[in-house]
Chains A and B, each alone.
Chain A
Amino acid sequence: NAGVTQTPKFQVLKTGQSMTLQCAQDMNHEYMSWYRQDPGMGLRLIHYSVGAGITDQGEVPNGYNVSRSTTEDFPLRLLSAAPSQTSVYFCASSPRRTDNYGYTFGSGTRLTVV
């Protein structure tokens, strides 16, 4: 079982560049989400999806886009990278948003914007 797979593990971007962080899960989970982790702030929700074709904003959505064309994949797009987006990004999934099983996390993408 691969669980939740994130790529790339590390990325350095220049200010203004765009990129896509990939997330895939093989557990047939309906619910997928993106978090960013910054020192002393825990994890903050960026966007989430409760199923293919359905996405919604979380706590800190500005500067990010998502789409969910399949159950398995939930990419996160940075439209025009800014230094404030330097962070560690985690993708997480759970069977359904209406069941409180807890999340399965990917191993993260460490992004630096210079």
Chain B
Amino acid sequence: AQSVTQLDSHVSVSEGTPVLLRCNYSSSYSPSLFWYVQHPNKGLQLLLKYTSAATLVKGINGFEAEFKKSETSFHLTKPSAHMSDAAEYFCVVSDRSTGGFKTIFGAGTRLFVKA
């Protein structure tokens, strides 16, 4: 069965400190994994994706994520938080299914950045 769990509903960091948003997944096959960001009153924007190439994936705005199959994790990190990073982040798992892919969204992690 396919599922995705974002381990923290809220994360608060100070500006300039590292960001870690945790995501675990369950998949029967070799999944594709994504992180999206949603700023207030906006649509979701693709940050980065893993599709069975390099396990360390670099995305936009200095974010990166590492696919760890043994731990079934795909945590999102950034070395130094900026005020503009305050947003909600969604981890997404996508598996092959009949006719295409089945995609499941996590419940989201809201990132707060303190000055």
Contact = CB atoms under 8 A, between A and B. Distances in A.
10 contacts: A31-B100, A41-B107, A42-B107, A50-B100, A97-B100, A97-B101, A100-B101, A102-B34, A107-B42, A108-B41
Interface of A: 4, 31, 35, 40-45, 50, 90, 92, 96-98, 100-108
Interface stretch (B11-19, B44-52, B78-86): B44-52
Contact of A43 (B46, B51, B105): B105
Interface residues of B, number: 22
Contacts of B101: 97-98, 100
Nearest to B94: A100
A94 B81 CA distance: 30
Interface in B19-61: 32, 34, 36, 41-46, 49, 51
B2 to A, nearest CB: 12
B67 interface: no
Mostly, the B contact residues are: strand
A36 to B, nearest CB: 11
A100 B100 CA distance: 9
A104 B36 CA distance: 10
Nearest to A56: B99
